[in-house]
């Protein structure tokens, strides 16, 4: 269903799930209905809401129905007042009434309004009453606040996730095995210093979390002090990363990065000066950036050094803690 302002709504009653509830306050509702019909018969059609409101209040007083009228509510955000509003009538201290004079009948916002009032005043039944048509229309709106239940179910994502992992692995493999890149993978065996099972597992995970590290042998005669250094880290993420912790981890180790120009990566590269960017989906641009670093170890070392310095200054535990304290103090 499309509204006049162009927004779409689902074609279902907003309280459809509540319609199966048993009728609550049935006897009181029957008494109120008699007043609705009496007011509509006596007053007629075509008058403003306030006229029907006054007539209904007089009818209730005449019949001895306990009501309160036009009580105000105050909606606060923390200690700030953000909205004030009034209900039309509260009958029997339990049933909220919203009296309308709508020639076109109830709109979706009328249901939303009474639901919010029921929730605010903690009542379980509302009545929407329309005096604006040939026959008075009464809608029962029961309300029961349900507890919020949050569950996680990733099974339906598994096929999509496996597909994306396979695509990413294939794309990385094509880049690494591209004959235009002078890359020669080398297997290095070393004895870890960790002794416990937990330590060995943690060390292994720290390596496998960055599978796209690019290594290249460098002759001792070059102006790079080590015989084998990691020249660049590239994780060609297809989707936006909220932060990209592996970028910070690589830079903290003095390893420059090559990342797509989207999500958090441009901001991280600008803040640290520790890498290069390429346009997402542009394979030739990615290859060019990697090639520039692989063929120029001096540039790679310079970017890695700058990145490490920036990370230690801006993203260390101490600096992050100080920034957090500063932010909290500003908010308070």
Confidence (pTM):
0.41
pLDDT tens-digit readout, 291-328: 888 888 888 888 989 988 998 888 877 777 787 878 77
Structure confidence at residue 182 as a pLDDT band (50, 70, 90): low
Distance, in Å, from the CA atom of 232 to the CA atom of 257, rounded to the nearest integer, reads: 5
Question: What is the pLDDT at residue 252?
Answer: 85
Strand partners, 142: 125
In terms of DSSP bridges, do strands 89-91 and 67-69 run parallel, antiparallel, or are they unpaired? Answer: antiparallel
In terms of DSSP bridges, do strands 125-130 and 95-100 run parallel, antiparallel, or are they unpaired? Answer: parallel
pLDDT tens-digit readout, 232-281: 777 777 766 667 788 888 888 888 988 888 888 888 888 899 899 988 88
Residue 60 · residue 31 · CB < 8 Å: no
Count the neighbouring beta carbons within 10 Å of the beta carbon of residue 171: 15
Q: What are phi and psi of 129, to 5 degrees?
A: -125, 125
Question: What is the pLDDT at residue 203?
Answer: 59
In terms of DSSP bridges, do strands 125-130 and 137-142 run parallel, antiparallel, or are they unpaired? Answer: antiparallel
Burial of 274 (0-12, 13-18, 19+ CB in 10 A): buried
Angle, CA 148 vertex, CA 146 and CA 153 arms, to 5°:
130
Question: What is the pLDDT at residue 144?
Answer: 82
- Does domain 174-331 correspond to CATH entry 3.30.470? no
Domain ranges across the chain: 16-142, 174-331
Structure confidence at residue 11 as a pLDDT band (50, 70, 90): very low
Question: What is the pLDDT at residue 149?
Answer: 57
- Does domain 16-142 correspond to CATH entry 3.40.1350? yes
pLDDT tens-digit readout, 31-88: 999 999 999 999 999 999 999 999 999 999 999 999 999 999 999 988 899 999 999 9
The reply to whether domains 16-142 and 174-331 share a CATH topology is: no
DSSP one-letter code for 145 = P
Residue 92 · residue 28 · CB < 8 Å: yes
pLDDT tens-digit readout, 186-202: 666 667 777 776 566 55
Cβ neighbours of residue 319 under 8 Å, at least 6 residues apart? 313
Question: What is the pLDDT at residue 193?
Answer: 75
Residue 114 · residue 141 · CB < 8 Å: yes
Mean pLDDT for 153-159 is: 72
Q: Give the residue with greater pLDDT, 8 vs 198.
A: 198
Cβ neighbours of residue 51 under 8 Å, at least 6 residues apart? 43, 101
Residue 214 · residue 232 · CB < 8 Å: yes
| R_g of the chain computed on alpha carbons | 34
């Amino acid at each position: 269903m499309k509204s006049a302002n162009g927004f779409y709504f689902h074609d279902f009653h907003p309280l459809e799930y509540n319609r199966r509830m048993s009728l609550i306050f049935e006897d009181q509702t029957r008494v109120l209905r008699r007043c609705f019909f009496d007011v509509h018969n006596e007053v007629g059609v075509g008058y403003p809401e306030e006229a029907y409101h006054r007539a209904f209040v007089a009818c209730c007083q005449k019949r001895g129905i306990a009501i309160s009228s036009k009580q105000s509510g105050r909606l606060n955000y923390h200690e700030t007042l953000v909205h004030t509003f009034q209900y039309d009538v509260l009958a029997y201290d339990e049933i909220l009434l919203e009296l309308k004079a709508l020639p076109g009948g109830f709109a979706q916002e009328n249901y939303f309004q009474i639901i919010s009032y029921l929730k605010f005043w903690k009542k379980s039944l509302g009545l929407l009453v329309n005096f604006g048509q040939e026959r008075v229309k009464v809608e029962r709106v029961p309300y029961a606040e349900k507890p919020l239940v949050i569950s996680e179910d990733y099974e339906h994502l598994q096929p999509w996730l496996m597909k994306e992992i396979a695509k990413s692995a294939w794309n990385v493999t094509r880049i690494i095995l591209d004959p235009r890149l002078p890359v020669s993978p080398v297997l290095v065996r070393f004895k870890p210093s960790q002794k416990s099972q937990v330590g060995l597992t943690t060390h292994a995970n720290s390596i496998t979390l960055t599978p796209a590290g690019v290594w290249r042998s460098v002759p001792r005669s070059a102006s790079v002090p080590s015989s084998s250094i990691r020249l660049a880290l590239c994780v060609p993420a297809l989707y936006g990363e909220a932060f990209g912790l592996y970028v910070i981890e690589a830079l903290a180790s003095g390893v420059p990065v090559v990342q797509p120009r989207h999500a958090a990566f441009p901001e991280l590269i600008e803040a640290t000066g520790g890498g290069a960017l390429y346009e997402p989906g542009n394979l030739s641009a990615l290859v060019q950036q990697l090639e520039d670093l692989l063929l120029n170890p001096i540039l790679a070392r310079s970017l890695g050094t700058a990145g490490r310095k920036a990370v230690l200054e801006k993203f260390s535990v101490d600096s992050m803690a100080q920034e957090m304290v500063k932010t909290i103090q500003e908010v308070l």
